[in-house]
Structure 1
């Protein structure tokens, strides 16, 4: 009897569809879903050159060209690092898009799942500067609360009255993908009904750029600065850092339909896997395992994918490893499934990267197009063997799409979304 009951519960969990009912975005290529779509269709880049006397050379980067202090009170601002501000605002946008006033009526059946690399890093670095230059020896009371890595998740849960699980993920570049996967697992298991899930990052400071420059990983400024990020290209010189925040409202299909919420798409599958290899260099086995797990959860074959948004950071060591992983997973479909890397436009948003690239996949589903890898006119032979979408977008129906993120430390996150029109 117990076995029958367990099998019934497992079957119910598998059958739960996870709907995306809300979208919020603040990014270098748009502050709304519509403006991001326009940038993707036009291959419009948010990358520009940045110079500072504190740095050894100019760097390309992709900032959000806006300040948000007016969105908060004078009492609130000292507690809010820029990363936290972006998280709050994108989560609020997603909540409003989902038609939710706040989450208090859901009780403990709602959760927040947040991904970031540095969290309140700018607040921490400013306090460190003050301490070592002798300006101050004791911090203001708000500094600790401003620089916590989980500050974004906490502030969202407080402001949105979320009483269920609040989790923060810091798995480097796959952080928001891990957060979204965690939210999906908890919805499918029946632990919660609805979640705010995504990520945020705002670390474009000279001290952070200088630290990354120490890795010899950052790109040179291209003669046309907006073209400095060139994934898969023979001319690529390294990654370009960006900032921003993307959040989704996720809920069980039953829950969404009960409150008559519009459904943008479904998260059909997810996979998390580790390389077990090196703290700073990727290995294809972890990427392969993550993608296969996501496809298995989605219940589809790799050949059924209509689009893949690649992690592709435009680094010499990273891009070829990912292409090898893609070829292994796709098999005979490697030359037919379109692949592109939109970091060429919005750059590497670190803790928000997975969520941003999942948004690209959702937009591809909803608007029937394949975004291009911008500035890719000369494919590196080491990155050949897959169906690159170059230069300009293509009009094409998209039913299933997958994004892949590969983080430092070897944590990989793959997410599969499917069109709501398939049902």
Structure 2
């Protein structure tokens, strides 16, 4: 990119934990955080937050009356954002932009309020403001008392990486010097799970690994939902305290055959990856964190897109959805966190049910992919 952008902090709040040491420790083992859960009268797989993190969410909710009517998606993002700006050395009240998005927004609250409406014909006073998608970024901006712009959006499963693209654009335009970007999702609700099951893409088989993301030999779809948030602090220029640098960004949208389709060779991902890679020699791309949702067609089409670009000289390939489930709008930033941790520790994280890949050279550059309903894709190249 013509103007460098530094990542000076990243923070997550997910089934993996909420601090870098815990998250890395959980990546280093082969355990999945997916479990069989109750959703209304039915059971289905999901990847929930730990009891300890759920207690933190409840403590935040109880800390002030203004938080009582907020959806978990807002509270997850608040906790992740507070931690991120602390790591970056930003102060409450600084002038920085906020772009935190979500694929679904306040799913649990919306279901709760709608159920009450069907029964009574009435709804809660807070039903509208508390289920508005822009609720996440606006609450973060208020909580951190920033004087910069605050933006929310939904670009389905690539939402968090689209937020990063937007932050980069603001920084490179000179309209801002700092931006916090990311995504948050709390989709473990009966109606959301039912929607995924209706599409016949959801995991149903009990196994050590219910979600077989990146297993290209699976015969059935194995997507599972997870919850959480992740945010990153971006600053213009190459900062000494950077934990990584954004070296390329890419995006594309492909023509749909139907509302959730993606082409066999993921044309949108090919274009977004090529744009992000730019003039970087292909042999300098050491690893790719795939979107890989755990569906038969989704995983294979992304792999085909990678092969179309890299041929037989593939980088190391990994994903985290077999551990965390698919966190929808937050997933791209959780993938970015994995990429940054691999760069920091010079260690590749394998997927346990596919052949082991060894990093025989230092990991210096990692490509991160996200793709969502609507045929939209984002790729981000990060380096040391």
TM range (shorter): over 0.9
Is 1:406 the equivalent of 2:371? yes
Q: Deviations over 1:367-415 (max 9, x none)?
A: 10111123336xxxxxxxxxxx46xx75852100011111011110111
The match for 1:418 is 383
Tell whether the 8 Å contact from 2:288 to 2:316 is kept in structure 1 after alignment. yes
Give 1:155 shift: 0.6
Is 1:32 the equivalent of 2:11? no
Listed as ranges, the gaps of 5+ residues in structure 1 are: 1-13, 378-388
Q: Deviations over 1:240-274 (max 9, x none)?
A: 110100001110126x45xxxx2111111111100
C-alpha distance in 1 between matches for 2:359 and 2:19: 22
The match for 2:85 is 95
Q: Deviations over 1:219-250 (max 9, x none)?
A: 113233xx111123224532011010000111
Match of 1:279 among 254, 259, 278: 259
**CA distance 1:230–1:167, shift in 2 (3 Å):** same
C-alpha distance in 2 between matches for 1:271 and 1:181: 8
The match for 1:71 is 60
| Structural mapping, 1:98-113, within 5 Å | 98-102=88-92, 104-106=93-95, 110-113=96-99
Partner SS, residue 91 of structure 2: coil
Tell whether the 8 Å contact from 2:60 to 2:67 is kept in structure 1 after alignment. no
The match for 1:189 is 173
The match for 2:36 is 49
Tell whether the 8 Å contact from 1:176 to 1:354 is kept in structure 2 after alignment. yes
C-alpha distance in 2 between matches for 1:332 and 1:199: 34
Tell whether the 8 Å contact from 1:230 to 1:376 is kept in structure 2 after alignment. no
Is 1:61 the equivalent of 2:46? yes
C-alpha distance in 2 between matches for 1:126 and 1:222: 29
Is 1:371 the equivalent of 2:349? yes
Match of 1:354 among 317, 329, 332: 332
Give 1:331 shift: 2.7
**CA distance 1:232–1:238, shift in 2 (3 Å):** same
| Structural mapping, 1:229-244, within 5 Å | 229-233=211-215, 234-235=217-218, 237-244=221-228
Partner SS, residue 157 of structure 2: helix
The match for 2:283 is 303
Match of 1:292 among 248, 251, 274: 274
C-alpha distance in 2 between matches for 1:372 and 1:180: 26
Match of 1:397 among 349, 362, 382: 362
Give 1:141 shift: 2.4
Q: Runs of 4+ in structure 1 displaced over 4 angstroms? A: 393-396
Q: Deviations over 1:168-217 (max 9, x none)?
A: 22111101011111101211222210001010000101121111110011
The match for 1:7 is none
Partner SS, residue 370 of structure 1: coil
**CA distance 1:395–1:87, shift in 2 (3 Å):** farther
Alpha-carbon RMSD across the aligned residues, in angstroms, is: 1.8
C-alpha distance in 2 between matches for 1:161 and 1:374: 43
C-alpha distance in 1 between matches for 2:126 and 2:40: 30
Tell whether the 8 Å contact from 2:203 to 2:210 is kept in structure 1 after alignment. yes
Tell whether the 8 Å contact from 1:344 to 1:375 is kept in structure 2 after alignment. no
Give 1:332 shift: 4.7
Partner SS, residue 366 of structure 2: strand
**CA distance 1:328–1:162, shift in 2 (3 Å):** same
| Structural mapping, 1:139-288, within 5 Å | 139-224=123-208, 227-233=209-215, 234-235=217-218, 237-253=221-237, 256=239, 262-277=241-256, 278-283=258-263, 284-288=266-270
Larger of the two Rg values belongs to structure: 1
The match for 1:131 is 117
C-alpha distance in 2 between matches for 1:30 and 1:129: 32
Give 1:320 shift: 1.3
Tell whether the 8 Å contact from 1:372 to 1:394 is kept in structure 2 after alignment. no
C-alpha distance in 2 between matches for 1:190 and 1:331: 38
TM-score (norm 2): 0.93
Tell whether the 8 Å contact from 1:232 to 1:319 is kept in structure 2 after alignment. yes
Tell whether the 8 Å contact from 2:161 to 2:378 is kept in structure 1 after alignment. yes
C-alpha distance in 2 between matches for 1:221 and 1:70: 35
TM-score (norm 1): 0.84
Partner SS, residue 51 of structure 1: strand
